[in-house]
């Protein structure tokens, strides 16, 4: 029996590094449909806090606790109880050019797309649960994050592997999660 689709949407993200250490991790969710509903949320790990921002904070918390806290990119950050903030993100997402999202006092920009390719795995374990994941992966060379009008120090880490360019700043669109 095949896996059941549990979420359809997009999940651009960035892990910024500053002086060899992670300085921030931001994960944007545009959920067109899921077993828990739909909507947008930005999850930000920065300055010893986890912030969940979106019009439905409980939906955002589900995304944060089910997925984001278990992403490898989040492993370098403390995970205290997330701060839930009801706010409507303004999102511009273009798989050909990049991403700009503004919500509350946060603005995130991802740009200079290096490649676009299909990613698929049937075995992604997060928090002891195995998922299937498919999306179009678009690594980005540039990322800029501001919080409270201050630029968060750091840059995405870029390199190449056998599949092509890789970056800790990326768009993940046409995304489907299964369990």
Tokens of 112: 């200079």
Question: What is the number of helices (H) and of strands (E) in the chain?
Answer: 1, 15
* Containing structural domain, residue 121: 5-178
Q: Is 136 helix (H, G, I), strand (E, B) or coil?
A: strand
Partner residues linked to 51 by β-bridges:
44, 83
Judge contact between 85 and 61, C-beta under 8 A.
Answer: no
Predicted pLDDT at 100: 99
Is the pLDDT reported for residue 1 higher than 60? Answer: no
The pTM (predicted TM-score) of the whole model is: 0.96
pLDDT of 73-120, one tens digit each?
A: 999 999 999 999 999 999 999 999 999 999 999 999 999 999 999 999
Q: Is 85 helix (H, G, I), strand (E, B) or coil?
A: strand
Domain count, the chain: 1
């Amino acid at each position: 029996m095949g896996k059941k689709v549990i979420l359809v949407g997009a999940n651009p993200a960035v892990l910024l590094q500053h002086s060899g250490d992670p300085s921030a991790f931001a994960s944007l969710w545009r959920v067109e449909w899921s077993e828990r509903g739909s909507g947008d949320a930005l999850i930000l790990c920065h300055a010893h806090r986890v912030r969940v921002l979106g019009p439905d904070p409980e939906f955002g918390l589900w995304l944060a606790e089910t997925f984001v806290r278990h992403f490898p990119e989040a492993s370098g950050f403390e995970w205290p109880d997330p701060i839930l903030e009801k706010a409507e993100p303004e999102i511009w997402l273009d798989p050909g050019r990049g991403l700009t999202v503004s919500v509350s006092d946060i603005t995130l920009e991802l740009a200079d797309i290096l490649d676009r390719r299909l990613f698929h795995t049937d075995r992604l374990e997060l928090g002891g649960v195995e998922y299937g994941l498919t999306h179009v992966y678009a690594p980005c060379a540039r990322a800029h994050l501001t919080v409270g009008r201050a630029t968060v120090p750091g840059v995405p880490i870029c390199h190449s592997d056998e599949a092509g360019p890789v970056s800790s700043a990326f768009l993940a669109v046409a995304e489907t999660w299964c369990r």
